[in-house]
Amino acid sequence: TFEVELRRTGVTLTVQPDRTLIDVVREAVPDLLSSCEEGFCGTCETKVLDGTPDHHDTILSARERESGRTMMICVGRSRSRRLVLDL
Ligand code: FES
């Protein structure tokens, strides 16, 4: 379980282990774009403002992954208790 803050939207949501991050984000941002939802198309790429993403995609480079500044929220989760996204 971790918290996700959507900074521009101004809400903080809780992501339980049985939910995907993108599903929870959609509760606050219904028009969020996605396509594959399997971590390979790049449509759901989202800027990370704070926290440490737990990457599960197959599209980011090792360098991007390490930077922790961007993530695919359809499959990604969080290693930190709180993740802050630019949404
Ligand atoms: Fe395709 Fe997330 S929707 S990478």
Task: Give the ipTM.
Answer: 0.99
* Pocket-testing residue among 32, 44, 64, 85, ligand 1, by greatest number of atoms within 8 A of Cβ: 44
Q: Give me the pLDDT at residue 9, please.
A: 97
Confidence of residue 49 (pLDDT cuts 50, 70, 90): very high
Q: How far is the CA of 60 from the centre of ligand 1 (A)?
A: 11
The share of the chain scoring above pLDDT 90, in percent, equals 100
Q: How many CA atoms lie within 13 A of 40 on its CB side?
A: 2
Angle at 12 between CA 59 and CA 55, to 5 degrees: 20
Q: How far is the CA of 64 from the centre of ligand 1 (A)?
A: 16
The CB of 37 under 6 Å from ligand 1? The reply is yes
